[in-house]
Amino acid sequence: MAEEFQDMMYKEISHREEDRSGNVIKSRCVTISGISKISIEEDSADGVKIVLKKDQNDNIKEIKFICTCGETKSIVLDYSD
């Protein structure tokens, strides 16, 4: 039951475009660039899903709005000066 309340953590990876061959990226060309937490909230009245992507310090990095019609809009936040 304790697992139900834990945040889901995901590893972020990065790669260079020239390392890619079609849709395949070799594992030796990938580096782990950080950790993200992803949470999904749904507004039942308007049918819009809100996806929050946070870093390991709970700072929101990206807010994505997903409509039931399939259209998406994203806001990316950069905390660097």
Per-domain residue ranges of the chain: 2-76
Q: What is the maximum alpha-carbon separation in the chain?
A: 46
Would you state the pLDDT for residue 47? 79
Residue 1 has pLDDT above 50, yes or no: no
Calpha distance 16→20 (Å, rounded): 7
| 8-56 confidence digits (pLDDT tens) | 778 888 877 766 667 787 778 888 888 888 887 776 667 788 888 888 7
Would you state the pLDDT for residue 48? 85
Would you say 53 and 68 are in contact if contact means Cβ atoms under 8 Å apart? no
Would you state the pLDDT for residue 81? 64
Q: Which residue has the higher pLDDT, 54 or 80?
A: 54
Calpha distance 74→62 (Å, rounded): 7
**Smallest Cα–Cα separation from 42: which of 68, 72, 15, 78?**
68
